[in-house]
Chain A
Amino acid sequence: NAGVTQTPKFQVLKTGQSMTLQCAQDMNHEYMSWYRQDPGMGLRLIHYSVGAGITDQGEVPNGYNVSRSTTEDFPLRLLSAAPSQTSVYFCASSYGGLWETQYFGPGTRLLVL
């Protein structure tokens, strides 16, 4: 199993550009989530999904969109990038939800100029 994979590993954007961060898992996990990690702060939940076709907002959803068309994939879209979205983004998955072991992807480092 590849586990949780994320692409790209690193990306530089200009303010106003859009992009999609990819996340995929091959463990047949129902629950998937996106976090951002900023210096001096704990990880914060952006969006999560409890299964294909079902998504919900987390703590810091503004500026981000998600969709879940398959169990395996959970892409995160930045509609119009802003410097405040410079961060490291982690995707995670688990079989049933937040009361189970979370499996994290390797992260995507995003720099918005």
Chain B
Amino acid sequence: KNEVEQSPQNLTAQEGEFITINCSYSVGISALHWLQQHPGGGIVSLFMLSSGKKKHGRLIATINIQEKHSSLHITASHPRDSAVYICAVTLTLYGGSQGNLIFGKGTKLSVKP
């Protein structure tokens, strides 16, 4: 059973399109992360959020704690946005532990010119 599910697994879009990637989780969390993994393999943190909405440039991340769901939106998509987008959740602290970071399998996005 996957505690973090992403959809879709693969996504192809035309340049300029509005893109939405979804993340659902089944556990109590203290934070949710959106990461970008470039074709070369490097991983960059895009957002870390625990409530509401964050925006950075053309990227918007939202989270609904009650529904255990987060979305990553890309407006006016561009070929340079082509990457794997990974959702990860920080489990709620328990028993003094620092918790654990559970990752989704990623969404592979390809934006065509």
Give chain A's interface residues, CB within 8 Å of chain B.
31, 33, 40-45, 48, 50, 56, 58-59, 88, 90, 92, 97-104, 106-107
Q: A43-B88, A99-B48 are in contact. List 6 more A-B contacts (CB 8 A).
A: A42-B104, A98-B30, A100-B31, A101-B33, A103-B45, A106-B42
Contacts of B102 in A (CB 8 A): 42
Q: Report the bound CA distance from A59 to B33 in whole Å.
A: 18
Contact A98 B105 (CB under 8 A): no
Interface string of B13-53 (1 = CB under 8 A from A): 00000000000000000110101000001111100101000
Size bin of chain B's contact surface: 20 to 34
User: Which 10 pairs, one residue from A and one from B, show the smallest C-beta to C-beta distance?
Assistant: A42-B103, A104-B43, A98-B90, A99-B31, A43-B103, A101-B45, A42-B105, A98-B101, A101-B48, A99-B30
Contacts of A50 in B (CB 8 A): 98
Chain B residue at minimal CB-CB distance from A88: B41
Contact B33 A40 (CB under 8 A): no
B40 → chain A, closest Cβ, in Å?
8
Contact A45 B41 (CB under 8 A): no
Contact B48 A100 (CB under 8 A): yes
Check B10 for interface membership: any CB of A closer than 8 A: no
Contact B105 A41 (CB under 8 A): yes
Contacts of B109 in A (CB 8 A): none
B44 → chain A, closest Cβ, in Å?
7
Contact A102 B45 (CB under 8 A): yes
Task: Contacts A101-B48, A107-B42 given; indicate if A43 touches B99 (C-beta within 8 A).
Answer: no
Q: Report the bound CA distance from A48 to B100 in whole Å.
A: 9
Check B63 for interface membership: any CB of A closer than 8 A: no
Contacts of B103 in A (CB 8 A): 42-44
